[in-house]
Chains A and B, each alone.
Chain A
Amino acid sequence: MQSYIPIFLMIGVSAFLGIVFLVLQRFLGPHRPNPEKLSTYESGMPPVKSARERFSVKYYMVAVLFILFDIEVIFLYPWAVNFRALGLFGYVEMILFILILLVGYLYILKKGALQWD
């Protein structure tokens, strides 16, 4: 458990800093709103319409593919922790594992699933 203390400290410090900055700007910063300032920022232009609109389903496909390769990384992690102990056999196993997924990667490349249009 001792080895997690730095992580807990980091969570604590970052949360503390975030809260401190939010509170400080409330008390120290000037507060003079006008309609121009309060309008939605759209690169300096007047906002055209609501930002709340439906997104293209293509984003979803990218997210699905991202998760699948994310899961692949999870399998790499326990192998990498004792890479030396597992030796050549583990290395070959992992190569095989990645090769099978590489087939999938090449498939989606060929299929054009990563192309935007």
Chain B
Amino acid sequence: MNMYEIIFYFFAFITVASASVVVFSRNIIYAAFSLLFTFFGVAGIYVLLNADFLAITQLLIYVGGILVLLLFGVMLTTNTVNIDIKSGSMNVLAAASVVAALAGLLGGVFWTSDWFVSKQMGELPAQTTSKEIGTALITTHVLPFEIASVILLVAIVGAAMMARREGIKSQIPSSK
């Protein structure tokens, strides 16, 4: 077992262990916090795969943003400890078709992609994907790049609309 594999199993262990805490914990605060380690472990695996841009995105967006959003969501709820996690099966047909479509999409990407496989992943020359992504984003993929900003604009406007719907004053006393 070389250094690369040790580091890989380290991050894989962090990811799987904290993900199982997320699933099995009965306290949603613990679940939300251990999601932090799940995201972090996935970021580490991205780094091992030489996908440094994905790793940075994972850290900035998921650890820095989505997790904060989730924690706020937890803080907005009333019951945080000892909740019964009931999950029944409903809408089986619709769910199955959506899952099948998603699986088909992912499988299609998986089979048609030109995978870059190396025997010695650890000995790969350290190369940054951010540079190539940046070049592609500004030169060949300018339109999607600008569309992304428009989509973000739409999201901002939508969030502002939701924020200012003050017609119904919430019964919750606002805690300063």
Interface residues of A, Cβ cutoff 8 Å to B:
1-4, 8, 52-61, 63-68, 70-75, 77-82, 85-86, 89-90, 93-94, 96-98, 100-101, 103-105, 107-108, 111-113
Contact = CB atoms under 8 A, between A and B. Distances in A.
B76 A82 contact: no
Interface of B: 4, 7, 47-48, 50, 53, 56-57, 60-61, 64-66, 68-69, 72-73, 75-78, 80, 122, 124, 126, 128, 130-131, 133-135, 137-139, 142, 145-146, 148-150, 152-153, 155-157, 159-164, 170, 172, 174-175
B124 to A, nearest CB: 7
B contact patch SS: helix
A52 B80 contact: yes
B69 A70 contact: no
Contact of A71 (B61, B139, B145, B159): B61
A74 B61 contact: yes
A3 B7 CA distance: 15
B146 A70 contact: no
A93 B146 contact: yes
Contacts of A60: 69, 72-73, 76
Contacts, number: 157
Contacts of B53: 77-78
A43 B162 CA distance: 35
B145 A93 contact: yes
Nearest to A59: B72
Nearest to B155: A68
B150 A64 contact: no
A78 B163 contact: no
Contacts of B134: 77-82, 86
Nearest to B172: A54
Contact of A113 (B4, B77, B160): B160
Given A63-B69, A64-B69, A77-B130, 12 more contacts: A53-B175, A58-B174, A61-B159, A64-B163, A68-B156, A72-B149, A74-B60, A75-B149, A77-B134, A86-B135, A93-B146, A97-B148
B135 A1 contact: no
B12 to A, nearest CB: 15
Nearest to A67: B65
Given A74-B56, A113-B163, A104 B76 contact: no
